[in-house]
Amino acid sequence: MLKRRWRFFGKLRSDEGCWITYGNKSVRYHDERGEFELGFEDDWLFPDILQKSGYPIKLTDFEKTQILDRVLDGLRSDGHDAKLFPRTEPGENS
């Protein structure tokens, strides 16, 4: 679970060594691998993860799922009704 040091102020921190900060229509997830940005708007978390800092790495599917789960848990613990935006394959009509 992620929590703040001060109420309504600062980073959402975890005992697991990661933290989340808010950006403009985005959230940033930080851990020992670097900083990753995800789109976040109207309580929808977009699953595309963009690495912003750190040594360039390719995340495994497990690591991506872990990051998404931690970010969703953090957003929910911060009072958001966060949901993962559904992916659509190219060529699908929705």
Q: Give 24-46 pLDDT, tens digit per residue.
A: 999 999 999 999 999 999 999 99
Give this prediction's pTM: 0.83
Q: What pLDDT score was predicted for residue 9?
A: 62
Residue 84 lies in a domain: no
Amino acid at 59: L
The whole domain housing 19 covers 1-58
Residue 30 lies in a domain: yes
Distant-in-sequence, close-in-space partners of 18: CB < 8 Å, separation ≥ 6: 2, 29, 30, 31, 70
How many structural domains does the chain have?
1
Residue 65 lies in a domain: no
Residue 52 lies in a domain: yes
Residue 91 lies in a domain: no
33 phi, psi to nearest 5 deg: -85, -20
